[in-house]
């Protein structure tokens, strides 16, 4: 039995609510929560930015950070009735 595998910490569960935005690098889509940027590239299906609404995102930290932010796995996205984007 591998003691290291048994002692491995469980991936941290992340919940973030807000407006997804284009991140600092080309092709990035992020959401901010708790002072951190989270990479939404792992969302499947992908976040539909054309809705211009806020989202509630739940997932697990993948344990690594990309140029887009903290990578998430098992990403679930729920669309909210919060308007995002510039006012018209």
State how beta strands 53-66 and 29-33 pair.
Answer: unpaired
| Model confidence at 5: pLDDT above 80 | no
Q: What is the pLDDT of residues 14-71, one digit of tens each?
A: 999 999 998 777 889 999 988 999 999 888 889 999 999 999 999 998 889 989 999 9
Across 20-48, b (16+ Cβ under 10 Å) vs e yields: bbebeeeebbbbeeeeebbbbbebeeebe
For residue 2, the model assigns a pLDDT of 47
- Tokens 């990479």 map to which residue? 39
For residue 75, the model assigns a pLDDT of 92
14 or 85, higher pLDDT: 14
For residue 4, the model assigns a pLDDT of 46
CA distance 2 to 50: 47
CB 84 within 8 A of CB 47: no
């Amino acid at each position: 039995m591998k003691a290291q595998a048994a002692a491995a910490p469980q991936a941290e569960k992340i919940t973030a609510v807000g407006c997804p935005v284009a991140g600092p690098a080309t092709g990035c889509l992020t959401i901010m929560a708790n002072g951190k940027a989270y990479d939404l590239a792992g969302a499947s299906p992908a976040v539909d930015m054309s809705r211009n609404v806020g989202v509630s995102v739940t997932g697990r930290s993948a344990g690594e950070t990309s140029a887009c932010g903290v990578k998430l796995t098992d990403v679930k996205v729920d669309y909210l009735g919060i308007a995002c984007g510039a006012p018209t």
